[in-house]
Amino acid sequence: MNITTPFDDFGSLVFDEKLMEERLPNPVYKTWKQTVAKEGTLDRPTADAIAHAMKRWALEKGATHFTHWFQPMTGSTAEKHDSFIEPGADGQPLTRFSGKSLIKGEPDASSFPSGGLRATFEARGYTYWDCTSPAFIKDGILCIPTVFVSYNGESLDKKAPLLKSMEAISKAATRVVNIFGDKEVKTCVPVVGLEQEYFLVDKKLYEKRLDLKLTGRTLFGASAPKGQELDDHYFGSIPQRVSAFMKEVNHELWKLGIYAKAEHNEVAPAQFELAPIYSNTNIAVDQNQLTMDILKKVANKHGLACLLHEKPFAGINGSGKHNNYSIVTDNGQNLYSPGDKPAENIRFLVFICAFIKAVDTYPELLRMSSSGAGNDHRLGANEAPPAIISIYLGSYIEDILFSIYKEKEITSTKIDNSFNPVSGLSYIPHDNTDRNRTSPVAFTGNKFEFRMLGSSLSAAIANIVLNTINAEVLNEIADELEGIKYIQDIREKALAICKDIIKNHKRIIFSGDGYSSQWVEEAAKRGLPNIKSFIESVSSLTDEKAIKLFTSLNIYSEKELYARTEILSEQYIKTIEIETKTLTKMAKNEILPAMTKELKFYGETACSLKDVKIDYVNKMIDEISTIITSTNDTLEELKTTIESLDSIGDTHEKGVKYYYEVCPLMLKVREQIDKYEKIASKEIYTLPTYTDLLYSLD
């Protein structure tokens, strides 16, 4: 009997390792494997053979075009399609896909931001195949994951530095692992699982809100009478419409070989989460980009709009992208896994301490890497990690570290497995970490969960930073340990290093309530940076410490770092400009006319009532006319403020001014509109409200 399951076509749209083994001549497959393991290089005949097999497979799957799929510094992905078909010598059409086309592309992509790395007269940029990330078919196009670099070899994308940082962490971690005796380990790989949060709203309502369409968030809107106070949405039953949508999303992801695993309602109404199983960082980042793409496309098919913005609605939770991070050796050991007796597992303690030192040395970079204009509304908004970086270890690991530091007896060296809440179960898996949702970085059993990352962002930069800062510290540790002859001496020295790290970096460890105002004060006392805005954190990329870090590990050149600062600042300004223009347009074309109509209604009512004086009517006239004046005045102020900033030449400085001078004015306009919305009559004010938008899915 032929039983079909929803998983039968898992990976059917990916040219993965298994397919390569099946379809490639064995020597070709072996050369590819060696290239991936960095033990060899790909020659022309091998590339031709892989390209040929890839083309055959893609054509069988109905693909007509191929593209070099890359991740420019816009934060999204880019593709330019070329068809497989071309005229043959005899004039008959034939399909062709050469090794050269597989390996190298020259997209005419001169409009992507380069931060000055490409002068307009030298607009050439090249894409090169990332042979460690599998090719896949999307919308009938064979997509080849590639890096994007300039003619001079400077990286113009997010993948090239990510791959370099993976190499750096692999080398550094392997050094440490080898020192502790595991000599057969040759490489390590950082693995990542990205939990993606998002909102869904009815497409018809979405269409009526220009702000949602153009900026991804509501620029105004009074709170719905019911928010998330009852916590009744969280983990609740999934509405049928959403369930059909999720089913299709999962199926699309599975076909692409993405292990979509968990799905549930999130805290806010209309908010959901999707978590895949972790994979090598570059693949996880690629797959997350695909996931965001699929979420949007499938939503559209179901009459829904998927909002990936960090804060689509004020007053309720925003969305993040939790970045679960660990490092795994080539023989499958997770270096953050504490084992049964973590207190005696010195290698584990070294990796944990290295992480602590790395984060405490470069908190500004982590803050920067996880943010954008959108995340400014989320971080520190009392439902998301604050903008202050701290690490939550859980009391168990924390106790062990502090006992090393204070040279105290460690009270419990073994994980307690005696708790059994249900009789009859002989095996209960246990976690050695409790949870603290308020912490931006938390150790969760055998991985670090970085929760600051914004939902709409590419996870590349955050992981470039995590890899690089950890590589630096692990290299320092390896420098100190290499050359010590006896394992006992290595262990003792390593323990002393851990002790030192805890002494010097314990300020970053915090297990209390990260949402509280006391923590803000306490963090200031500890000297932890609290960078208010994303734009201010951008300059951390080019401070002396960061330049030294990135250039010494060969991740970014100084020029590339300056280019990135420029691009991020420029993008920030553009985002705010789009928001101000959208807000102004909506205010002038839709809201002020509604307010005026409303005023006219009450004015005419007052007139028609003549001698009958009704306080309510007069009060409404006063209130609405005050709101109209204030809205209009603030819009004028917004316009003149933006004009006054126009002459600032330094992009970053201009961005900071936008944050401190333009953003507050947008909020002021919003306040007026929200005030009006609360008293507006339904007949006159027709834009979808928060109640409409958040409760439209059932």
**What is the binding site for ligand ADP (CB under 6 A)?**
191-193, 195, 262, 275-278, 324-326, 334, 444, 446-447
Helices (H), 392-533: 395-405, 460-481, 487-505, 517-526
Binds 413: which of ligand ADP, Mg ion, none (CB < 5-8 Å by kind): none
- 225 within 8 A of 691, measured Cβ to Cβ: yes
* Shortest distance in whole angstroms from residue 369 CB to Mg ion: 19
List, in order, residues 6 or more apart from 540 with CB less than 8 Å away. 364, 365, 367, 368, 531, 546
For the range 160-163, what are the long-range contacts, defined as Cβ-Cβ under 8 Å and sequence gap of 24 or more? Answer: 161/460, 161/464, 161/555, 161/556, 161/560, 162/281, 162/282, 162/285, 162/460, 162/463, 162/464, 162/467, 163/130, 163/132, 163/282
Q: Nearer Cβ to ligand ADP, position 149 or 192?
A: 192
Which pair of tokens denotes residue 311?
């804060």
CA distance 125 to 131: 19
Q: Residue 95 pairs with which residues in a beta bridge?
A: 85
Could you give the 3-state DSSP secondary structure of residue 433? Answer: coil
* Shortest distance in whole angstroms from residue 447 CB to ligand ADP: 4
Binds 312: which of ligand ADP, Mg ion, none (CB < 5-8 Å by kind): none
* Shortest distance in whole angstroms from residue 446 CB to ligand ADP: 5
**Which residue has the CB atom at the shortest distance from Mg ion?**
322
* Shortest distance in whole angstroms from residue 358 CB to ligand ADP: 17
* Shortest distance in whole angstroms from residue 11 CB to Mg ion: 25
Q: Residue 328 pairs with which residues in a beta bridge?
A: 189, 334
Kindly list the residues in this chain that would bind Mg ion in the complex (CB under 5 A): 322
Query: If we measure between CA atoms, which residue out of 96, 97, 286, 54 comes closest to residue 192?
Result: 286
Binds 620: which of Mg ion, ligand ADP, none (CB < 5-8 Å by kind): none
Q: Nearer Cβ to ligand ADP, position 187 or 444?
A: 444
Binds 193: which of ligand ADP, Mg ion, none (CB < 5-8 Å by kind): ligand ADP
Q: Nearer Cβ to Mg ion, position 438 or 571?
A: 438
Residue 653: alpha-carbon gap to chain centroid: 25
CA distance 614 to 459: 59
Q: Nearer Cβ to Mg ion, position 245 or 448?
A: 448
* Shortest distance in whole angstroms from residue 322 CB to Mg ion: 5
* Shortest distance in whole angstroms from residue 466 CB to ligand ADP: 11
Binds 276: which of ligand ADP, Mg ion, none (CB < 5-8 Å by kind): ligand ADP
Q: Nearer Cβ to ligand ADP, position 262 or 496?
A: 262
Binds 641: which of Mg ion, ligand ADP, none (CB < 5-8 Å by kind): none
Binds 217: which of ligand ADP, Mg ion, none (CB < 5-8 Å by kind): none
Q: Nearer Cβ to Mg ion, position 255 or 322?
A: 322
Q: Nearer Cβ to ligand ADP, position 193 or 342?
A: 193
* Shortest distance in whole angstroms from residue 448 CB to ligand ADP: 8
* Shortest distance in whole angstroms from residue 262 CB to ligand ADP: 5
Binds 275: which of Mg ion, ligand ADP, none (CB < 5-8 Å by kind): ligand ADP
* Shortest distance in whole angstroms from residue 450 CB to Mg ion: 10
Length of the chain: 698
CA distance 166 to 186: 14
**Which residue has the CB atom at the shortest distance from ligand ADP?**
193
Give exposure, 204-230, as e/b (b: 16+ Cβ within 10 Å): ebbeebbbbeebbbbbbbbbbeebbee
Residue type, 351: F
Binds 67: which of Mg ion, ligand ADP, none (CB < 5-8 Å by kind): none
Q: Nearer Cβ to ligand ADP, position 463 or 468?
A: 463
Q: Nearer Cβ to ligand ADP, position 333 or 403?
A: 333
CA distance 10 to 259: 9
Alpha-carbon separation of residue 328 from 169, 278, 446 (angstroms) = 11, 12, 11
Q: How many CB atoms lie within 10 A of CB 169?
A: 25
Binds 278: which of Mg ion, ligand ADP, none (CB < 5-8 Å by kind): ligand ADP
Q: Nearer Cβ to ligand ADP, position 333 or 557?
A: 333
List, in order, residues 6 or more apart from 522 with CB less than 8 Å away. 510, 512
- 375 within 8 A of 310, measured Cβ to Cβ: yes
